[in-house]
Structure 1
Amino acid sequence: MKTFVRVTTLLAVLVLCLDAYLLYGFYQEDRAIPEARAVKVSNQVSHQIPNRDGGAGRDQAEYLDRIGEIQAGSVDAFLDSNARLLRYDNLTAEDVDELEANYLALKDYRRQADELSPPEKYEGQYESFDFALGDLHYAAELAYRLAADPISATQADFDAYALHVDRAGEHLRRSNEVLGREFETIEGVRMPTVG
């Protein structure tokens, strides 16, 4: 009996370590961007807010507009992924394709947010916004991976998904509070479960 308890305890520790390793891996950015891709990205039309001589008021208004657009697009893409993941046991190949498209769209929204230059008074807000987009992106990536390889899905995977979603929701709420806006959020979203 003691051996069984030791083995199950060891297995539980190993599962937790693997889960922590996987979560940590989701936060790692691919630092090696191929040169051709970097050139392509730099040549694309950017949504970056340019520095203009029009004054801080116009820059601030443009910043708020871009935050609203990026947040709305990100939340919509995430909510679509989440709705599909709620039907986890009945996903189709089309759903998997849409989950991948949402994940890639969130990656693009993160890139657009990286190009923003927040006014000084919104630097704290921008940090919350950036964290929120990161968590939405990672949640969407995990949703896609779960759908693409459903046999390997575990409750720990769904718990990791829920963690990212909870943190994203909190950061979006903080960002909205600082801005004094009611941009779209993910409040009240239902969490999918395995089995």
Structure 2
Amino acid sequence: MAVVAAASVSASLPAAAATYLPVGPQQNVALATVLGGGWTLCYQKTMSVGLGASALDELAACGAPGKSVMLAGRQTGSNTLLLLAQAPYADVTFNTGAADNGITHNANGSEWYYSDLWSWGYAEAGAAVRKFECDTNAGPLRMCLHTLASGVGGFRIGDNTGLNNSVDFEKLIFVNAGNAVPEPASWAMMLAGFGLLGMAARRRAKVAFA
């Protein structure tokens, strides 16, 4: 009796989903919770170091496009993140203009804003922001970094403001591939693989009952 071998198909499955998926800004989160929840640290500098117009370059170097991005702040060297928020890359880098225009982009429970010639940050959902150039409105659930070409650092992590020259606080960027939507080519490969496996199973069934 002829035996039909099952087709061996290797498909690029999506990365395992993160187990820590906060919605909206979160305070006082253990670093271990983030790292153990599927996130990878890809950028860490004191608030005195300016991102300038290189924020997107830093994110690209992290492989962030197409993934989820978490922007967090802490006291330098601490194992506790004072504030963090996360959303897909396209949302956290949504261009809201280089002006004090009050425009934000709502995503995953936060109001995000970005311009590579102004500032980058977030506030809690529904909150108004005053981008001068960073958000100067009061509130503990706000984080803002300057992205000016002059290389100014800072500006705030929650109620800790005026951090432009501070080495006592750090900004951190984490990425997670588990939330990314697979590219169409990956889906096509997976579907083709599943189809071949199904055909092989049907052929085995026919042989068994022949």
- Give the TM-score normalised by structure 2: 0.23
Larger-gyration structure (1/2): 2
Greater helix percent: which structure?
1
TM-score normalised per structure 1: 0.24
Greater strand fraction, Structure 1 or Structure 2: 2
Q: Which has the higher contact order (CA 8 A, sep 6+)?
A: 2
